[in-house]
Amino acid sequence: MSQPRNRWIVQIVLAVAILAFVGVSVIPIIGAFNNTPPSNQNTASTRGTLTSADQKSKLEDEVRGYELVLQREPENQTALKGLLQARLQLLSQKEKSEVKPADIQVVIEPLEKLAKLNPEQSEYSVLLAQAKQQIGDREGAAQAYRSILSTKPGDLKALQGMVDLLISQQRPEAAIGLLQETLSKAAQANKIQPGSVDIVAVQVLLGSVHASQKRYDQASSVYDQAIKKDPKDFRPVMAKAMLLKQQGKDADAKLLFDSAAALAPAQYKDVIKKAATASPLPNPAASPTPSPESTPK
């Protein structure tokens, strides 16, 4: 499992520490510039690092080169991926306030082709949905998520993205309904394709949606179901610990944090300990946008 590095799109607390462990790794389209220093801070070093202007010029040359290849070979995936990466890097040189819909649109174009050429790789469709959401095309984003879920109803990246979209539209009941439907069909789906739906992960996501609406009893009940489903899985234990902490029940939360740390793989223990000692923040919500390290290979 890989941990998302970026903040959730909506302001959340609970899911940040919980869904990092769900096993979802989504490469967000906009994360390309979220954590990038403004271009005026990029100066040439004494070791010959390119200036911001030089970097931009180099990337623009790369874009033109890939575009020429694609004029001859419209479905050349090496060129499409290179074009996507170069345009994302150009995007990263802008401050967030400077990014315009047209800047996102030029990223959407190669993404649409890559998603069509690689229907089995949901990362491209998820990225496409995120990009469309960023420019305000919520219906286009929803269609991209639905296209994944129609063939892969347990795809966590698409579920997570669709839940985020619904929450951003103030439609928590729709998000809850989607996750409940996924859970109701999970047993049958897993009979057909074993492991296609991570039931515990979906339950943790459902609990976080309830928690975002301050339905703490419902959230706790869902987490308890997940714990009962797999007592050795630390994720719902961690989720319930954070829920209790959010409610100010520190003593009870500490017991569960300790239990989660004992159950968790080594790479998650420090994160759990930090979550246990961090100050609780208000208004937890349900969905994330992880930041990219690279585009899908």
For 175-193, what is the mean pLDDT?
Answer: 95
pLDDT of amino acid 4:
35
pLDDT of amino acid 88:
86
Whole-model pTM? 0.73
Q: pLDDT band for position 169 (50/70/90)?
A: very high
pLDDT of amino acid 268:
87
For domain 11-18+57-151, give the CATH number: 1.25.40.10
pLDDT digits (tens, 9 = 90+) for 244-297: 998 999 999 999 999 999 999 898 888 888 888 887 654 444 433 333 333 455
pLDDT digits (tens, 9 = 90+) for 11-50: 223 333 344 444 443 344 444 333 333 334 444 443 345 5
The DSSP string of the chain is -----SPPSS--SHHHHHGGGTT-----STHHHHTSPPGGG----TT-PPPHHHHHHHHHHHHHHHHHHHHH-TT-HHHHHHHHHHHHHHHHTS-GGG--HHHHHHHHHHHHHHHHH-TT-HHHHHHHHHHHHHTT-HHHHHHHHHHHHHH-TT-HHHHHHHHHHHHHTT-HHHHHHHHHHHHHTHHHHHHHSTTSS-HHHHHHHHHHHHHHTT-HHHHHHHHHHHHHH-TT-HHHHHHHHHHHHHTT-HHHHHHHHHHHHHHS-HHHHHHHHHHHHSPP-S---S---PPPSS---
